[in-house]
Structure 1
Amino acid sequence: MLWDDFLNSEWRDWRGSGRSEDRLERKDWVEELIRNHRLRVSTLPTAQEMDKLRSFRSFLLSVVQHIAAGKTLLESQIKELNRWMEGGPLVRRLHAGMDGRMAIGYRPLESGWQGAIAEIAGSFAVTLAEGEASRIRICTNPDCLWVYYDDTRNRSKRYCDEKACGNLMKVRRYRAKKKQNDSSDKQDEPK
């Protein structure tokens, strides 16, 4: 989804090195975001646009954290999300879908980063309106904090990726338990 790809541009090393990276500063990452989501942007963001992108990302992350904590959206959050979406008016177009059925597509009138931000905000709003907000999650690996949409049937996904963060956290729990057991065994030994 566009909105979570954008949010995850603030990357953290999930293995615990403490490294992080703002991928909005990487030309190749931004170009890939534009290409993958067909954003109508022809240039990399200027310094002023970058400030706006970061401000929007901070707002969006605060909303996701609010939702992931099990809270309902506040009226002020809805109003601010609507303000971000106002930057990109849309044109509706009827077209034949991949399966041959008719579909409606939306194309932003505005090109540039203002329109791109509105597209990202709109992508998030569609998830809230048509998806289930309770499925919006943040990886429970404290070194990762990747944002994702839990599409599992039983809504039990705790990690962004079971093979990466899931395995890492299982190993950490195992080692912590083993260390605790080893230290309690040493205390129980006769002197």
Structure 2
Amino acid sequence: METLWSDFLNSQWHDWRGSGRSEDRLELRAWQERFLSDWHLAAPVPMPAEAASAMRHFRERLHLLAVKLADGGGMEDGDWQLLNEHLALDVVSRRLIGRPGAVRLVYVPVTEDWRHVRAEIAASFGETLLGGETGRIRVCDNPDCRWIFYDDTRNRTKKYCDDKMCGNLMKVRRFRARKKAGEERGEES
């Protein structure tokens, strides 16, 4: 299951096949447009330089927190402060929308900018924490990938961001390593 916060963290892309290539997609216009559209957010595109710097800094800090939680660590005061700092950036008004019998309360941002986007990302991460689901935050077991994901499987054993890509790649790598080790033992005999 992809979340707003994991999609944001994974804007720092690494080639899962092991070429060593990486790409910061955060400042790519196409990534910004897709990200905002997918998550029903609004902000100016292209992202202003000051906003890009703030987004990168937030991504680095949130990434460190996600990795810490994936490794079994817990939330500390500074971690809560990080999320609260970004939540405080957003001002919203509340509106009742609907018709009798189907009314809902919605939060409407006062400004539609990248500060609002950062607040929504912090809120998304906070919802994961409130759900008590930090044990489901994972880093892909493919060391070349580094993708952060939320493990939505029933038994909480998902190891790869994508079983067909990283999972198969790692299976092939293990097979080749065993085959090579077997050939080397055969040559020594």
Q: Specify the TM-score bucket, using the shorter chain as the normaliser.
A: over 0.9
Partner secondary structure for residue 106 of structure 1: strand
Give how far 1:42 is off.
Answer: 2.8
| Cα distance change of structure 1 residues 133 and 180 upon mapping to structure 2, 3 Å threshold | same
Identity of aligned residues (%): 45
| Cα distance change of structure 1 residues 120 and 186 upon mapping to structure 2, 3 Å threshold | same
Structure scoring higher RCO (CA < 8 A, sep ≥ 6) equals: 2
* Other-structure match for 1:152: 153
After superposition, the CA RMSD in angstroms is 1.7
Moved more, 109-118 or 7-16: 109-118
Q: Map of 1:125-136 to 2, 5 A cutoff?
A: 125-136=126-137
* Other-structure match for 1:115: 116
1:93 to 85, 88, 95: 95
| Paired letter, 1:69 | D
Q: Deviations over 1:71-123 (max 9, x none)?
A: 11111111121011110123333445xxx865443322232111111111111
| Paired letter, 1:5 | D
Moved more, 119-128 or 165-174: 119-128
Distance in 2 (alpha carbons) for counterparts of 1:64 and 1:94: 34
Q: Map of 1:37-186 to 2, 5 A cutoff?
A: 37-95=39-97, 102-186=103-187
Given the two structures, how large is their TM-score scaled by the length of structure 2? 0.92
| Paired letter, 1:125 | G
Partner secondary structure for residue 50 of structure 2: helix
Partner secondary structure for residue 21 of structure 1: strand
Moved more, 87-96 or 65-74: 87-96
Given the two structures, how large is their TM-score scaled by the length of structure 1? 0.91
Moved more, 148-157 or 43-52: 43-52
Residue 17 of structure 2 contacts residue 144 of structure 2 at CA under 8 Å; is this kept in 1? yes
| Cα distance change of structure 1 residues 103 and 173 upon mapping to structure 2, 3 Å threshold | farther
In the alignment of these two chains, the number of paired residues is 186
Runs (5+) with no aligned partner, structure 2: none
Runs (5+) with no aligned partner, structure 1: none
Partner secondary structure for residue 75 of structure 2: coil
